[in-house]
Amino acid sequence: MQLLKDRILAEGKYLDNGILRVDSFINHQVDAELMDACGAEFARQFANTHADRILTAEISGIAPALMAAKHLSLPVVYARKHKPITMPDQVYFTVAPSHTKGNMVDLIVSPSYLPRGEKVLIIDDFLASGSTILGLVRLVQAAGAELVGIGTLIEKHFEGGRRSLESLGVPIVSLVCIDSMEEGKIIFRD
Amino acid sequence: MQLLKDRILAEGKYLDNGILRVDSFINHQVDAELMDACGAEFARQFANTHADRILTAEISGIAPALMAAKHLSLPVVYARKHKPITMPDQVYFTVAPSHTKGNMVDLIVSPSYLPRGEKVLIIDDFLASGSTILGLVRLVQAAGAELVGIGTLIEKHFEGGRRSLESLGVPIVSLVCIDSMEEGKIIFRD
């Protein structure tokens, strides 16, 4: 998606540890119109999955997932990292290593919002090692729901996340795929 | 806003401690089309403030603020509760008591995304005691920016937050205002 590529080239900042800083348009300041366009593109690419709902992880997955949900007219659920007091005691729960924080984070979903048998589309901001997305996949499996696709704004292909997801046998869509960021130079795939 | 009132009556659940559970359409599962309609209504009511940006707090402020930002063609910034490694060391920082968690939460914004002199519109999900919104107001003031309005999806009028904000002298818009929830019966204002 050229609009997103252009923005990454203009504003993305390479930090150490393979981290791409995009906090001027995705995950602190958010460009709502760009997210809307990304949501429309996810909707176009996943229209034929006939998903019943979108699942994402707080915090930075919310913006792209919400916009995709709007364009697909679907409900979106975000896995919580801390159980709020408004959540029932019985939940779906898993832990996943956080790439940017270096610790483990909880992923918690209320069973009411991940019904058995539904088709679930996972949308998140980054596909890096794939660990957060695999955590979301475990929640889908725990619920007895069916995973029908995985969409991310930015894939860092060199971190191998796609390989860890391919065995799931569902379409994996990245709006932008980065092949390498060596010495801070961002090289896109294709 | 009738659409939101109807949804609260249909799905809102009264918990103890004056907490209204709306996690089936606002803050766990999110109705993206409802949030889009709420964003459009915020845009209509705040069009004449000529805001430069929207400020909200993660997590549940993101959905309504993002949709308002889309309709107003503005950037939105969400105050972080934990400083990510992608954020610079020098930040605007305040603490605010959390109504639903019973503890203090940090509110952190990168100075790059809250420039001095800009007109800032605050959007959040709830106006209860007003403590989170007052925290956001302190960030706006620390930045030397100008507050031009405060918008929330749901005001719990009986918790007095509006009184604590009125001295700021800016428009305060709630799409729905609840006068009382005694014994779980939700009574709307007007």
Q: What pLDDT shows up at residue B161?
A: 97
- B31, B62, B110 member nearest A75 (Cβ): B31
Q: Do A76 and B29 touch (CB under 8 A)?
A: yes
| Banded model confidence at residue B190, pLDDT cuts 50, 70, 90 | confident
- What does the pLDDT read at residue A30? 98
Q: Report CB contact under 8 Å: A78, B24.
A: no
Among candidates A15, A32, A76 on the partner chain, residue whose Cβ is nearest the Cβ of B76: A32
Report d(CA B26, CA B24) in Å as an integer.
Answer: 6
Q: Where are the domains of chain A?
A: 2-188
What is the tens place of the pLDDT at every residue in B74-126? 999 999 999 988 898 899 999 999 876 778 999 999 999 999 999 999 999 99
Predicted confidence band at B18 (pLDDT cuts at 50, 70, 90)?
confident
C-alpha B46/C-alpha B52 separation (Å) is: 12
Question: Whose CA is closest to A122, among A40, A114, A26?
Answer: A114
**How far apart are alpha carbons A89 and A35 in whole angstroms?**
33
pLDDT, position B16: 78
Q: What digits encode the pLDDT tens for the residues B35-48? A: 999 999 999 999 99
Q: Please tell me the predicted confidence (pLDDT) of residue A182.
A: 87
Q: Specify whether the CB–CB gap between A137 and A105 falls below 8 A.
A: no
> Which phi and psi angles does A56 have, rounded to 5°?
-140, 180
Q: Are the Cβ atoms of A69 and B100 closer than 8 angstroms?
A: no
Which pLDDT does position A183 carry in this prediction? 84
Q: What is the pLDDT of residue B149?
A: 98
Residues of B numbered 36-75 whose beta carbons fall under 8 angstroms of chain A's beta carbons: which are they?
36, 58-59, 62-63, 66-67, 69-70, 73-75
Higher per-residue pLDDT: B183 or A60: A60
For residue A168, pLDDT over 80 is answered with yes
Q: A91: pLDDT confidence band, cut at 50, 70 and 90?
A: very high
Q: Flag whether residue B100 sits within 8 Å of chain A, measured between CB atoms.
A: yes
CA neighbor of B133 nearest in space, from B103, B94, B102, B101: B94
Residue B146 binned pLDDT confidence (cut-offs 50, 70, 90): very high
Under the banding of pLDDT at 50, 70 and 90, the label for residue A190 is confident
Mean pLDDT to the nearest integer, B162-167: 97
Decide if pLDDT at A100 tops 80. no
- Phi/psi of residue A45, nearest 5 degrees: -75, -25
The pLDDT value given to residue B167: 97
**Chain A residues inside the 8 Å CB shell of B63:** 62, 66
Band (pLDDT 50/70/90 cuts) for residue B54 is very high
| CATH class of residue range B2-188 | alpha beta
* pLDDT classification of A129: cutoffs 50, 70, 90: very high
Tell me the ipTM for this assembly.
Answer: 0.96
| Average pLDDT over all residues of chain B | 95
pLDDT level of residue A98 (50, 70, 90 thresholds): confident
What is the rounded average pLDDT of the residues B48-76?
A: 98
Choose among A19, A29, A84: nearest Cβ to B113. Answer: A29
- Secondary structure string (H, E, C) spanning chain B: CHHHHHHHHHHCEECHHHCEECCCCCCCEEEHHHHHHHHHHHHHHHHHHCCCEEEEECCCCHHHHHHHHHHHCCEEEEEECCCCCCCCCCCEEEEEECCCCCCEEEEEECHHHCCCCCEEEEEEEEECCCHHHHHHHHHHHHCCCEEEEEEEEEEEHHHCHHHHHHCCCCCEEEEEEEEECHHHCCEECC
pTM over 0.80: yes
- Output the pLDDT for position A50: 98
Which pLDDT does position A17 carry in this prediction?
77
pLDDT tier, B15 (very low <50, low <70, confident <90, very high otherwise): confident
List chain A residues with CB under 8 Å of B36. 70
Size of interface A-B (CB pairs under 8 A): 130
